[in-house]
Amino acid sequence: MSIPALTQLTEDELAFKEAVRQFAEGEIKPLVTKMDEDAKLDSELVKKLFEMGLMGIETPEEYGGVGSTFTMACLAVEELGRVDGSVSVMVDVQNTLVTNAFIRWGTEEQKKKYLSQMATSKVGAYALSESVSGSDAFALKLRGEEKDDHYVLNGHKLWITNAGEAEIFLVFANINPELGYKGITAFIVDRDTEGFSIGKKEDKLGIRASSTCELIFENCKVPKENVIGEVGKGYKIAIETLNEGRIGIGAQMLGIAQGAYEATLEYIKTREQFGKPIGKFQGVQFQLAEMRTMLEASRLMVYNSARLKDSGKDFVEEAAMAKLYSSRVAEKITSLAIDLFGGNGFTKEYPVEKFWRDAKIGQIYEGTSNMQLQTIAKYEMSK
């Protein structure tokens, strides 16, 4: 199915979107089933993501990146999600969270060292969540203690996306618990740092090939030059990057919904019952029309919030709405897809059961649906 030119994308954006789609179809699609079964991304495929420039889309060219826009990053995340949510979220976290934070708050030395690595060869991870700090993101127990020219980190992180492949970690710890969230500071931790290790890998319902792991800090020594942003201002970095990252999750959910929709459209044109394709029945057509309408509404919300971000305008409420709606749409469309596939949809022989499994996480990570509702309500009440 060709990409519809009805969402006001530029020619360059449409060409980029098509290029990512062709890459996803040719390089990712043949590997999807095995990666899902093995719960592991193909290492050669990860290398190809770097070769395609998909791991440093916004990163300035001087640091080895593409030097493009946030919108372009979201288009890539969408097209990858159309084929595989696991690959999509790796690219999403790399671009909309980790490199985004380095671009905005990193020193020139940090940018030269880390942005260039993440644009060309090294995966990044964003380490905020802990066992007691999910929606209450700043109830952090990971502690940082200042000692001479370094900080010593002790504690754990949980549910960290990309942790299995990552070599660069953006880690949030509290160096002064008495100050509450004002003690939170962001640190750059390299994978080979002494006292740092990767713990348990989660066995998940969906996006199974995406690694989600525990991080362990045992007297982990981090040099002071690896503080990113100001000491005690980690909460600001976390809030603002997550606001941007939610648009990326919206794009991922949009892609998953698109993939399920396209598979369903093809199926109902060929699956016959009572002597004709089931797509000829009005009841099926009405469901298809509902799917298509929700899909387009989701697309417009995601693109609009990305455009606002690129233009430097306030986008926080729009980002929350885009993530909230897109995650709901993804779950609804993938569920309808299984319904329309019938018994076949409940088997792993067909792709829609995986789309459904992959869609569920959209209402949970990078801010639950309830947290998005809270953000939207807060903005509305302040008007």
Q: What pLDDT sits at residue 363?
A: 98
* Band of pLDDT at residue 19, cut at 50, 70 and 90: very high
What pTM was estimated for this model as a whole? 0.96
Give residues with Cβ within 8 angstroms of 72, minimum separation 6. Answer: 13, 16, 57, 58, 66
pLDDT of 201 higher than 80: yes
pLDDT digits (tens, 9 = 90+) for 323-366: 999 999 999 999 999 999 999 999 999 999 999 999 999 999 99
For residue 4, is pLDDT > 70? no
The amino acid at residue 365 is Y
Of the candidates 108, 167, 366, 380, the residue annotated as catalytic is 366
**Cross-strand partners of 66:** none
Length of the chain: 383
Contacts of 140 (CB under 8 A, 6+ apart): 130, 133, 172, 173, 174, 184
How is the chain split into domains, by residue range?
A: 11-123, 125-231, 236-381
E strands of the chain, at which residues? 124-127, 143-147, 150-161, 168-174, 184-190, 196-201, 212-223, 227-228, 272-273, 276-277
Confidence of residue 7 (pLDDT cuts 50, 70, 90): low
Q: SS3 letters for 178-197?
A: HHHHHHEEEEEEECCCCCEE
Fold category of 11-123 in CATH: Butyryl-Coa Dehydrogenase, subunit A; domain 1 (1.10.540)
Closest-CA residue to 83 (of 32, 14, 16): 32
User: Once rounded to an integer, what is the mean pLDDT over residues 185-210?
Assistant: 98
Work out whether strand 168-174 and strand 124-127 pair parallel, antiparallel, or are unpaired: parallel
The CATH superfamily of 236-381 is Butyryl-CoA Dehydrogenase, subunit A, domain 3 (1.20.140.10)
Q: Give the pLDDT score at 136.
A: 87
pLDDT > 90? residue 293 = yes
DSSP lists the bridge partners of residue 124 as 168
Dmax over Cα atoms in the chain, in whole Å? 79
Q: What is the pLDDT of residues 117-169, one digit of tens each?
A: 999 999 999 999 999 888 887 899 999 999 999 999 999 999 999 999 999 99
What is the predicted pLDDT for the residue at 249?
A: 98
Band (pLDDT 50/70/90 cuts) for residue 3 is very low
Per the prediction, the chain carries an average pLDDT of 96
Per-position DSSP letters for 319-369, written without gaps between them: HHHHHHHHHHHHHHHHHHHHHHHGGGGGSTTSTHHHHHHHHGGGGTTTS-H
β-strands 184-190, 272-273 pairing: unpaired
pLDDT for res 134: 83
**Position with higher pLDDT, 2 vs 127:** 127
130 catalytic, yes or no?
Answer: no
What pLDDT sits at residue 219? 98
3-state secondary structure 265-297: HHHHHHCEECCEEHHHCHHHHHHHHHHHHHHHH
The pLDDT value recorded for residue 6 is 45
How buried is residue 11: exposed, middle or buried, by Cβ count under 10 Å (0-12/13-18/19+)? exposed
User: What tokens were used for 282?
Assistant: 């009005």
Among 19-28, 132-141, 194-203, 240-249, where is mean pLDDT lowest?
132-141
Other CB atoms within 10 Å distance of the CB of residue 150: 16
> Is 125-231 CATH 2.40.110.10?
yes
